[in-house]
Amino acid sequence: AGKLNTYRFCDNVWTFMLNDVEFREVQEVANVGKVKIVACDGKSQYQNGFFEDKH
């Protein structure tokens, strides 16, 4: 029942801002006014203190 407020993709990172979100468990419901989700690729190009150039 949540509503997507804004989203952004910058430097391989997704950011989603949602309003009026409902989280459901088997017997529990939690209503939250604002939720921020940040997601990135689990395969990092950052190794030994430097970014690898894969091109």
2-54 confidence digits (pLDDT tens)? 899 999 999 889 999 999 999 999 999 999 999 999 998 877 666 556 666 55
Judge whether 51 lies within some domain: no
Amino acid at 30: A
Q: Cα separations (Å) of 14 from 5, 9, 30, 42? A: 14, 5, 24, 12
Judge whether 55 lies within some domain: no
The pLDDT score that the predictor gives to residue 4 is: 93
* Adjacent-strand bridge partners of 31: 22
The pLDDT score that the predictor gives to residue 1 is: 62
Domain count of the chain?
Answer: 1
Q: Containing domain of residue 13, as a range?
A: 3-41
Amino acid at 11: D
The pLDDT score that the predictor gives to residue 41 is: 80
DSSP E strands: which ranges in the chain?
A: 3-10, 13-24, 29-40, 46-47, 50-51
The pLDDT score that the predictor gives to residue 55 is: 52
The pLDDT score that the predictor gives to residue 2 is: 81
Judge whether 18 lies within some domain: yes
Q: Contact 19/5 with Cβ under 8 angstroms?
A: yes
Judge whether 13 lies within some domain: yes
